[in-house]
Amino acid sequence: MNTTDVLRLSFRTVRSNKLRTGITISIIALGIMALIGIITAIQAMNQKLTESFSTMGANGFSIRFKERNIHFGGNGPTMKLTKKGQRKEKTSNLDKPITEDQAEHFVDYYNFPSQVSISAMAGNNYTISYGSKKTTPNVFLFGADENYLDLNGFTLDAGRNFSNQDVTSGANVCLLGYDVAVALFKQSISLAVNKIVRINDMPYRVLGVLGSRGSSFGFSRDKIVIVGYKNLKRYFGADRYVIGVMTPDVKQVETAMGQAEGLFRSIRKLNTTEESNFVLERSNSIAEKAISVLGYLTAAVIVIGFITLIGSAIGLMNIMLVSVAERTKEVGLIKAIGGKSKAVRQQFLLESIIISVLGAIFGIILGILVGNLFSMVLNTGFVVPWKWVFYGVLICTIVGLLAGLYPALKAGKLNPIEALRYE
């Protein structure tokens, strides 16, 4: 028997034992489906994160308040824990959020060639109304200046942006997020411009409507309203400010961050021995952190997938051992008509590999389909993890080879006379 004959016989045997083959393929397919499906979903999440944060740009950074971890005595002075022998410093004036005066002082004195923006958030439980129509009380309310849209990748579908006069005067004017405008004005969002809407019963004139940014992980990024940051403080009491900076070139970011930190330390009145009580974050750092977390999740999924495949391999080996026992007479007949032990071993090995690879193919197809159901929820493109498709086929081939090795060796060692007499 040559290799072609052995391969044909292996396919014929696999095809003739439909129930046993189907059960074994299903076991392997489920393991591969779970592995490929979850990895496909993770790649879809990676794609969505990249899309969601790409508009923020790699050439920007923000300055935020960094709260200290250890406090003693409510709102009173805090003590910074230091190494033994070092002086403990009172920091009663340092643990306060970034104030409006500090943010404006930074904007006035920061001379690096860049765009600078001031913003603050009041919360996410606001209701916006126009006439008899109103939104659900889950709208985010932001305060910002005229540079905020550029620094955060917003576009305008209708109307205009804030002017410097709008912001500094604290006028009751606002920009509506796309979903808010649709909720109040249906599809005629251009009609919103110059209309008077109410934010928790406070009247505001609409300057413009923001372009849609879609949803991220099932949450809309268009349920927002932006007012001037001075107006936000006056009527909604916001007192935690964020400073955004965008440089013309990504290569200038590190230099800009260094200058910004030095200036803001002086604004916050920190001396050389004190740790900065604010943090500088690059605009794409959130996405990078989230993607790194997904990397750990991928590693965990791989480990679980391998454990599942080990179980599948054990099941396949047991089924092949049962097959050897059931086909003892067949093996004896093959040897009696001149078949060699090598051919018998090859046949059982090929059967095991064929079953395993078929399980991999079905599992990969199902895994990609299941994973892309998640990508449909996230509204991303169709994702195929080609690297893991190749790995899946390779791993299942190895699993089939290892699972069929012992049964093949056992079948090859059968004595033809005893095999023919086996009942």
Is residue 128 a contact partner of residue 199, using CB atoms and an 8 Å limit?
yes
- Of all residues in the chain, what percent are helix, strand and coil, respectively (each to 5)? 55, 15, 30
Tens digits of residue pLDDT in 249-264: 878 888 999 999 999 9
Please say whether the dihedral angle defined by the alpha carbons of residues 95, 98, 101 and 102, taken in this order, is positive or negative. positive
Is residue 141 a contact partner of residue 197, using CB atoms and an 8 Å limit?
no
Alpha-carbon distances of 171 from 98, 184, 216, rounded to whole Å: 23, 22, 32
pLDDT tops 90 at residue 92: no
Tens digits of residue pLDDT in 189-235: 889 999 999 999 899 999 999 998 876 555 677 899 999 999 999 99
- Confidence band for 332, pLDDT divided at 50, 70 and 90: low
- What is this structure's pTM? 0.59
Q: Which residue has the tokens 């060796």?
A: 409
pLDDT tops 80 at residue 58: no
Alpha-carbon gap, residue 360 to 364, rounded angstroms: 6
Note the pLDDT of residue 314: 77
What share of the chain has pLDDT > 70, as a percent?
76
Residues 6+ apart with CB under 8 A from 135: 127, 128, 129, 180, 183, 184, 223
Note the pLDDT of residue 133: 92
Alpha-carbon distances of 4 from 52, 301, 350, rounded to whole Å: 53, 38, 11
3-state secondary structure of 19: helix
Give, in degrees to the nearest 5, the angle at Cα 407 between 402 and 408: 85
Note the pLDDT of residue 232: 95
| Phi/psi at 387 (5° precision) | -60, -40
Q: How many residues does the chain have?
A: 423
- Confidence band for 45, pLDDT divided at 50, 70 and 90: confident
- Confidence band for 93, pLDDT divided at 50, 70 and 90: very low
